[in-house]
Structure 1
Amino acid sequence: MYTAYLADTPNGRKISIALEELGLPYRVQHVDLGAGEQHTPAFERLNPNGKIPVLVNEDDGTPLFESNAILFHLATHSGRLIPADGNGRDTVLQWLFLQAASIGPMLGQLWWFRHAAPAPNEQALARYTKEARRLYGVIERRLAATPYIAGDTYTVADIACWTWLVTHEELGLDIGAWPALAAWLDKVGARPALQRGLARTAEPAHV
């Protein structure tokens, strides 16, 4: 049994999606980011960086933080959503690192300057829009050549990238510019386990 400390964000959604895809037992502990629950001493004992998600193995109380580390842990320990061969795993890792190092930070900055910045900053908007479009182009070219992010099969790399790239409307990006990516978003988004995972993350905190 796992306890998943989540909020309804791209990184939080990754974990409930993966747990649903793998059919693993878990409960969700919703973290109220607006109230600062991620910065309490109790939470920071689970993640010193004070961010969601965190996954706790209730068998031994071990916490694991960083969303893509959690995805890799779940996939390798279950033997699913990741190739068994070394080259296949390396390919998944490359795309997990790209998502963590580039897609998440750049799209996150674009969202912040579009929706949360206290004052307009056209220079920042131009910079992050340009970089977001570049990254969508990287994924477009990949998906024009292969059915899924890491190759022929659906893996945790798809989960990691999907939760961020599906936010294109919030980011003011026209998905029509990337038809292969748009088709992949629809294909992955139609998976029943993904839909269940989204619903679990979006549940009210008191549920």
Structure 2
Amino acid sequence: MSTLDIDFYTWITPNGLKVSIALEEFGLPYRAHTIDITRGDQFTPSYLAINPGAKIPAIVDHGTGMTLTESSAILIYLADKTGRFLAKDGPSRYRAFEWLIWQTGNFGPTIGHAHHFLTYHAGKAPFAEELFAKDTQRLYRTLDAALRDRRYLSDDYSIADIAIWPWVSRFERHKIDLNDYPEVRRWYLDIAKRDAVQRGYRVPVITGEIPVP
């Protein structure tokens, strides 16, 4: 595989970090392209040709001819491509899918709203602030309970952990004290030590060190 086989289009959001961390974990050569969504790069004709939905991330795998959007779909594709971080069959595979879908359908959207109302527009919508603060706490309790008897979410380290970790790394923005969720804190700090996670956290630009509770 050449260093140009995978083009990766991304920005410094949790969904972008999911894929940058995954690419580093899988050891796949790639070229990162910065799509600065604060400047509207996602609406340029060249990027819309890759993803008409005008969202990041996206990949183009020139080795297989595959263009993919949606971060969780990309994680599944990369796991199947490499045969790593996703069991080939059995309960562990479906447990990873369960938590991957939980992140996509529950954790990510709720936390995204929490960021909006609790950090970026604090004081403007008290009802929404209370709603999303409480639901964020509920989801953290769910995650904490799931990690009580296991190191990772699906037996071994998997794309489920890779998907959820970048969202937890924004705990300050959704007003969560990780010390209130000791299993999540333990899991978060364990993953934060991984070299590939530290490299992926700096793609496409360095915004600072990984937050430490």
Per the normalisation by structure 1, the TM-score is 0.93
The amino acid across from 2:63 in the alignment is D
Partner of 1:46: 50
Aligned counterparts of 2:98 and 2:33: Cα–Cα separation in 1 = 30
- Give yes or no for contact 2:96–2:160 (8 Å, CA) kept in 1: yes
Q: Give the deviation of 1:116 after TM superposition.
A: 2.7
Gaps of 5+ in 2: 208-213
Q: Distance in 2 between the 1:161 and 1:125 partners?
A: 22
Q: Which moved more, 1:163-172 or 1:67-76?
A: 163-172
Match of 1:201 among 200, 204, 209: 204
1:154 to 153, 157, 165: 157
Moved over 3 A (4+): none
User: Does 1:143 find its partner at 2:111?
Assistant: no
The corresponding residue for 2:182 is 179
Distance 1:134 1:171, change over 3 A: same
2:95 touches 2:153 (CA, 8 Å); kept in 1? no
Q: Deviations over 1:155-185 (max 9, x none)?
A: 0100100000121112111111100100000
8 Å contact kept, 2:9–2:56:
yes
**Partner SS, residue 197 of structure 2:** helix
Amino acid of the structure 2 residue aligned with 1:126 = E
Residue 36 to residue 119, structure 1, CA distance change in 2 (3 Å): farther
Unaligned runs of at least 5 residues, structure 1: none
* Paired residues, number: 203
Counterpart AA for 1:10? P
Q: Structure 2: how far apart are the matches of 1:200 and 1:32?
A: 12
Q: Does 1:110 align with 2:121?
A: no
Paired letter, 1:12: G
Deviation at 1:87, TM superposition (A): 2.6
CA distance in 2, matches of 1:150, 1:59: 30
Q: Distance in 2 between matches of 1:120 and 1:162?
A: 29
- The residue number in structure 2 matching 1:190 is 193
The residue type paired with residue 168 of structure 1 is: F
SS in 1 for 2:151: coil
Q: Which residue of 2 aligns with 1:120?
A: 124
Structure in which a larger fraction of residues adopt helix: 1
